[in-house]
Amino acid sequence: MPTCLITGVTGQDGAYLSRFMLEKGYRVIGMMRRSASSDVVGERLRWLGILGQVELVDGNLIDLASLIRTVQTYQPDEVYNLGAQSFVAASWNQPIVTGQVTGLGVTNLLEALRFAKPDARFYQASSSEMFGLIQAARQNETTPFYPRSPYAVAKLYGHWMTVNHRESFGMHASSGILFNHESPLRGIEFVTRKVTDGVARIKLGLARELPLGNLEARRDWGHARDYVRAMWLMLQQDLADDYVVATGRTMAIREFCRIAFAHVGLNYEDHVVTRADLIRPAEVDVLLGDADKARRVLGWQPSITLEDMIAEMVEADLARHRARLSA
């Protein structure tokens, strides 16, 4: 039985990847940092019905000793680094911790592997936010980066350290430059869940309006279930490399709202209000990915449409709120 180590295991991607790897027959070791809310940190794994199948271990990306100890103990064949301070908006208020976790944490994990399990295959969760102020209409692996937030800057550091370890030490280290990917497990602080949760609240009479920031920002949105499959495919290749993972379709937040509200028979214009304090200091106006390399080399392509994903998210949030109301 092959063993994989997943950091950020309690997040959206960590949960879906854990289920995917379990289905593939892996032993799944999930690294999680200690939290004051430790009683609820496994909710996503529980929601997927796999909490008891993932072996959770304590560790922290900014604590090299804990990483070395984990790698030495479990000797993973594959390591997926999904742990990060991943909320872009928060990175302006917490730039140092974002740099420590999202940037330097990658180096810590790579160094732990280099000394304790150098033959392990490594996946780094890079981000389309690294493209920022886009230098090409469609972004692929050769498009120059122009990060526009502390989060994106930190991700860029982690990305290049992954490349550097691959080229300097011959490590099988790949980066997935993933464009936005969502699901019912997305954190409530992200705009997509903010929208679908708001739709559910308004439909059930729990709220009347939904405050948002820039409605014209455009993103290339896919489903997290599709994107974790791409992560695994990267580590099955003979040679490590970097891949853009995207749908090739971009949509404004305004249109996302229209589809989500229409799913429950409502007009978004009657409920969505814009607030200046929700607009980022430096906005990324549009992202549109070109995943041709992933299609050619990995044989990957998305299977879930944006409309189906939005409907799934709205229905999940309706179910959550109905359950609370009936409790």
Q: Which residues are catalytic?
A: 127, 129, 151
The Cα 241–Cα 162 span in angstroms is 10
**Vertex 17, ends 13 and 22: CA angle to 5°?**
155
The Cα 35–Cα 5 span in angstroms is 20
Tell me how far the alpha carbon of residue 132 is from its chain's centroid. Answer: 17
Tell me how far the alpha carbon of residue 106 is from its chain's centroid. Answer: 15
The Cα 188–Cα 295 span in angstroms is 31
**Vertex 324, ends 88 and 195: CA angle to 5°?**
30
Under DSSP, the state recorded for 136 is: S
C-beta of residue 148 within 8 angstroms of C-beta of residue 282: yes
What is the three-state SS of 166-178?
Answer: HHHHCCEEEEEEE
Burial of residue 114, with CB atoms counted within 10 A of its CB: 0-12 exposed, 13-18 middle, 19 or more buried = middle
Question: Taking the CA of residue 227 as centre, how many other CA atoms within 13 Å lie in the half-sphere pointing to its CB?
Answer: 31
Please list, in sequence order, all residues whose beta carbon lies within 8 angstroms of the beta carbon of residue 176, skipping any fewer than 6 positions away.
Answer: 123, 124, 125, 126, 227, 230, 231, 234, 242, 243, 245
Phi, psi of 233 (to 5 degrees): -60, -35
